[in-house]
């Protein structure tokens, strides 16, 4: 089956998604778009060079920035990943790093790029990675000519894998034996829904009670994962790159698989990280959540933060542009 995927934004994340898709032979054609034409050309050549060593072949397509949007018209999936990593890196110098501080720059990017997506007549599925993920995908959906179920963000998918890693390290067990979710905003208000977590089928809350496990320690180790990576190498790439590629594959293969994605929640009228089934039609179903009272309060609070920050965008955009 011929499949075509576009990537907007070839920074550390967009390039990592492109690399994963090519190495895994996931797509027939890959469109690369970046404001820096030299960067896009470099990625095109670099991704093409390695294919002599692969058993698959991916056609890498690129034009100059202003002309490249015409290549999106027949794409099945579009990965939205532009951003300014220097803002995130600067957060490490503060006492309270927060992805929401990227909102002004990201909102300006959305405002610039959304009309170009519309003009391209793209009619596929958009996967948004740009931070702050939930606020950006909410704003992006408002500006592009696509229904809500055709746009979603990576949400807390990577955060969930970090939680599983933290649990497996604490219990010295296989990460593949762990099920469950981190939910809410992909940011500081996210939380592990321990009521959903199972280890080898055993509820984590039961294990915690019988083995005196400190869940707060595990959650703290999990939530700090991204900042440990950024403080060490200046950005995250491998984990989110494979996450993006996996979600693209789930769409192309109509996997009908559930991930904790930033999808639209009708009750809160915003996008937020929640269990979401995806396939060729984009979001197929948002699974109902049965949370404890405390977890429900945390979810409510997280949705409130996303909503409030979406409302801040007009005032942020009224300031002199940073682009």
Domains (ranges, CATH) in the chain?
4-153 (3.40.50.720), 157-313 (3.90.110.10)
Q: What is the pLDDT of residue 98?
A: 61
φ, ψ of residue 267 to 5 degrees: the values are -70, -40
Q: What pTM was estimated for this model as a whole?
A: 0.95
pLDDT digits (tens, 9 = 90+) for 5-41: 999 999 999 999 999 999 999 999 999 999 999 999 9
Q: What is the pLDDT of residue 288?
A: 94
Catalytic (active-site) positions: 186
Q: What is the pLDDT of residue 93?
A: 61
Question: Which is nearest to 133 in space by CA: 190, 196, 176?
Answer: 190
Structure tokens at 144: 């592009």
pLDDT digits (tens, 9 = 90+) for 135-183: 999 999 999 999 999 999 999 999 999 999 999 999 999 999 999 999 9
Place of tokens 């998918």: 157
**Mean pLDDT calculated for residue range 118-143:** 98
pLDDT digits (tens, 9 = 90+) for 81-115: 999 877 666 666 665 666 668 899 999 999 999 99
Question: Which is nearest to 307 in space by CA: 193, 191, 189?
Answer: 189
Percentage of the chain beyond pLDDT 90 is 85
Report whether pLDDT(321) > 90.
no
pLDDT digits (tens, 9 = 90+) for 304-314: 999 999 999 99
**Mean pLDDT calculated for residue range 268-295:** 97
Question: Residue 273 — very low, low, confident or very high, per pLDDT cuts 50/70/90?
Answer: very high
Q: What is the pLDDT of residue 323?
A: 47
Note whether 303 and 272 are within 8 A (CB): yes
**Mean pLDDT calculated for residue range 207-218:** 93
């Amino acid at each position: 089956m011929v499949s075509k995927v576009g990537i907007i934004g070839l920074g550390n994340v967009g390039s990592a998604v492109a690399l994963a898709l090519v190495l895994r032979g996931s797509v027939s054609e890959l469109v690369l778009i970046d404001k820096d034409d030299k960067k896009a050309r470099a990625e095109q050549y670099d991704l093409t060079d390695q294919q002599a060593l692969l058993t698959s072949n991916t056609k890498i397509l690129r034009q100059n920035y202003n002309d490249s949007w015409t290549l999106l018209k027949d794409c099945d999936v579009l990965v939205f990943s532009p951003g300014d990593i220097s803002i995130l890196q600067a957060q490490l110098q503060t006492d309270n790093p927060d992805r929401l501080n990227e909102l002004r720059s990201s909102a300006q990017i959305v405002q610039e790029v959304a009309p170009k997506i519309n003009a391209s007549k793209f009619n596929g599925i958009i996967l948004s990675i740009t931070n702050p993920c939930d606020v950006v995908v909410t704003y992006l959906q408002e500006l592009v000519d696509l229904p809500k179920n055709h746009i979603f963000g990576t949400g807390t998918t990577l955060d969930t894998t970090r939680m599983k890693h933290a649990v497996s390290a604490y219990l010295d067990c296989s990460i593949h034996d762990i099920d469950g979710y981190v939910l809410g905003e992909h940011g500081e208000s996210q939380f592990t829904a321990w009521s959903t977590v199972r280890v080898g089928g055993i509820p984590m809350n039961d294990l915690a009670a019988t083995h005196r496990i400190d869940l707060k320690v595990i959650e703290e180790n999990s939530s700090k994962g991204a900042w440990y990576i950024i403080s060490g190498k200046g950005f995250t790439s491998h984990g989110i790159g494979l996450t993006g590629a996996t979600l693209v594959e789930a769409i192309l293969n109509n996997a009908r698989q559930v991930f904790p994605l930033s999808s639209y929640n009708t009750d809160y009228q915003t996008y937020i990280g929640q269990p979401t089934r995806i396939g060729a039609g984009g979001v197929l179903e948002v699974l109902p959540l049965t949370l404890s009272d405390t977890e429900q309060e945390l979810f409510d609070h997280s949705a409130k933060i996303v909503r409030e920050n979406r409302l801040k965008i007009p005032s942020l955009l009224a300031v002199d542009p940073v682009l």
